[in-house]
Structure 1
């Protein structure tokens, strides 16, 4: 990863952390809680967020300029996921990392 800027390395790290957090939260916490946590729209959003974070990290790691597109979309999905997790409640870590990832991805998309 020597060829990557420190900002890009930080974004990759945050994307992968967000991927892991959203996946683990959805598959464990949300499934255990049920109710609003497992409503289709919310659960699908969490899975989309996780996958977009993983994809954005992958695009940056392979060095394609197309990472700007994935990072732009990732920032949008992460922000939406953070807002929805905050609305439902009891997912503070997911909210925090999604917002952090959105911020980093916005910078990479610029």
Structure 2
């Protein structure tokens, strides 16, 4: 597998793990209702990253389209998680993973 694709797959998989962890951790917060948006976008982000990884791994002609959408959702998730990152480590870690994945997807589209 091409090194660039492997780096993209690594970023996608790291983002999936961070988003799943963040959503699960948010569910344990005292004010879960306040975290509803974060949980929702975490789930969306994990799902788009998973399908994008599959398309990239198989070399699908539709991978670039999914990478564009994935970058947008990763940006939105990163933005949301950053709102909570100062007082929730799981949100800070998720925001960082989302930013790396967003960048990797944008580079993948440009390649």
TM-score, structure 2 as length reference? 0.88
Tell me the distance in 1 between the aligned counterparts of 2:34 and 2:107. Answer: 32
Tell me the distance in 1 between the aligned counterparts of 2:100 and 2:34. Answer: 24
Partner of 1:81 in structure 2? 77
- Cα RMSD, aligned residues only: 1.1
Deviation of 1:30 (Å): 0.3
Q: Does 1:51 align with 2:58?
A: no
Partner of 1:60 in structure 2? 56
Aligned residues: 104
Tell me the distance in 2 between the aligned counterparts of 1:30 and 1:105. Answer: 26
Question: Secondary structure at the residue paired with 2:28?
Answer: helix
Tell me the distance in 1 between the aligned counterparts of 2:64 and 2:46. Answer: 17
TM-score, structure 1 as length reference? 0.88
Deviation of 1:63 (Å): 1.2
Partner of 2:96 in structure 1? 96
Q: Does 1:21 align with 2:18?
A: yes
Q: Which runs of 5+ in 2 are unaligned?
A: none
Question: Secondary structure at the residue paired with 1:32?
Answer: coil
